Amino acid sequence: DYHILAFFARRVHTKDGRPVEDIAPIPKGKTIFANSFDLYGLDDAGVFKHSRKLAKELGGSYLIYSLGTAVYSVIDPETVEFVVNNTNLITKGMVYNFMRPAIRTGLLTASGQKWHLRRKMITPTFHFNILGQFEEVFKAESLKFIEQFHDQTESVISVTDLIPKFTLNSICETAMGIKLDDMIEKGDRYRESMKMVEKLFIMRVSNPLHYNNTMYNWLAASRDAPYLKVMHDFSSEIIAKRRLLLEDELFQRSQDQMPDDDIYINKKRRFAMLDTLICAEKDGLIDHEGICEEVDTLMFGGFDTTSMCLIFTLMNLSLHSEEQERCYQEIVENIDDDLTTLDINQLTKLKYMECVIKETVRMYPSAPVIARETLNATELPNGLILPVGTQIVVQIFDLHHNPKYWDNPEKFDPDRFLPENMKDRHTYAFIPFSAGQRNCVGQKYAMLEIKTLLIYIIKQLKILPLFDPKDLILHSGITLGVKNNIKVKLVRRNK
């Protein structure tokens, strides 16, 4: 009866006929419709808390039934390893449909042949040599960031306000080849709309009446439309600007009689990922709509995720002066005083800083949840047999706080990531960038960007706390969000 009231959900079975509950607890739903309306009426902070509460109470991966579907939430590394490495499980979960009005069907949300083609097209744009060119942009943007405080011995800043500007400028200049200097106001509106779109995404997740596209279009699409328009107008303007710049560049090259295929290896010219897409369009491999899909995906993927990681890293460093000092000493020992010479090779020497960043994304993973859908009945290593259409939700946040794999998980302790402390831990207990075929294409890009800004800040300024972490209110979105205005005090270091 219970499952019939979840609108005829196909049921999960076990390989050996044991009751499912022996392997995965099934929390009782709030209404007679199983768990379908458990999130109903909750805001983005409530949705976040709900999942944390379930993970804590149930202590392991668990199963719910919602609107005709079984939803298996995974918080154990053995199942995570199976899921992310299973080539039959690369189709994203149903909830990614709700992102499509904003980021369309690009690399993040696409499936099947389309995903394979796009992944093949976009992966080379994150090649080591190209990242080396992007490093110049990260340095320029980092310098701009700290120059805001150059005439002050101390200043109070809101990292939640300032960091997203830095990351949006960086992604637009690296990936899109466009400086935002004459689009500052439009950039501000883009960021504000993005925030709103994430809120609306969670409103849809928490209201099953909006799951179906027709119902959503009828009941909620017009409410969301103005924010989506701001986002899409912004990305369209960037594409149009880059098209003109690239035309110019190609024209110049034809005048100088240089071959077009030399365009990406010319050291003097800065490569933009968007150029690859525009050139692929000329070869008939992608159309204008496809370019819009990928630009919206990369802007979103490259902006909000790194913002959140930087915000929480700066917060953690402000709260932990000893760890901050270790980062400072490591910079002094490994990085040239003249930051204009900073390059990728120097960045790889900052091992402790890497531990700090990893510990931060463990505690606050920018992508707290990822999901897949089974296209066939799928047997898991623990003996559960998931029927076709099951949603597998990898709860990265709960995995990263699972006390079975992390001692004192709420404690900030970068030493967890020293090689000697990692060897006995399950590799899949930590997957901030996911893993397997559908892992994050921007992982190396993100680490470079984050390390570069941290070097510029820590080298010159001490970061002091102005925020009590007990007050932190996290919320769900497409990425992890925070309700608070997190401030820190920056004090110039004595030379």
- Where on the chain is the footprint of ligand HEM (CB under 6 A)? 92, 107-108, 119, 175, 297-298, 301-302, 305-306, 309, 361, 366-367, 370, 432-434, 438, 440-442, 445-446
Shortest separation between residue 494's beta carbon and ligand HEM, angstroms: 32
Residue showing tokens 């809101």: 158
Shortest separation between residue 259's beta carbon and ligand HEM, angstroms: 28
Rounded Cα–Cα distance for residues 133 and 267 (Å): 8
Rounded Cα–Cα distance for residues 169 and 110 (Å): 26
Query: 288-319 and 112-122 helices cross at what angle (nearest 10)?
Result: 70
User: Strands, DSSP E only, in 126-284?
Assistant: 154-158
Q: Which residues contact 191 (CB under 8 A, 6 or more apart)?
A: 164, 165, 168, 303
Nearer to ligand HEM, 91 or 155 (CB): 91
Rounded Cα–Cα distance for residues 187 and 230 (Å): 10
Nearer to ligand HEM, 36 or 160 (CB): 160
Shortest separation between residue 338's beta carbon and ligand HEM, angstroms: 27
Shortest separation between residue 92's beta carbon and ligand HEM, angstroms: 6
Nearer to ligand HEM, 133 or 460 (CB): 133
Q: Which residue's beta carbon is nearest to the bound ligand HEM?
A: 442
- Name the strand (E) or helix (H) holding 102: helix 100-103
- Two tokens at 141? 């943007």
Shortest separation between residue 22's beta carbon and ligand HEM, angstroms: 29
Query: What phi and psi, each to the nearest 5 degrees, are found at residue 401?
Result: -115, 15
Shortest separation between residue 44's beta carbon and ligand HEM, angstroms: 19
Nearer to ligand HEM, 153 or 439 (CB): 439
Rounded Cα–Cα distance for residues 271 and 396 (Å): 33
Nearer to ligand HEM, 47 or 392 (CB): 392
DSSP string, 365-406: -SS-EEEEE-SS-EE-TTSEEEPTT-EEEEEHHHHHT-TTTS
Q: How many Å separate Cα 276 from the centre of its chain?
A: 23
Nearer to ligand HEM, 62 or 445 (CB): 445
**Would the annotation count 309 as a binding residue?**
no
Q: Which segments are annotated as binding site? A: 440
Q: Which segments are annotated as binding site for heme? A: 440
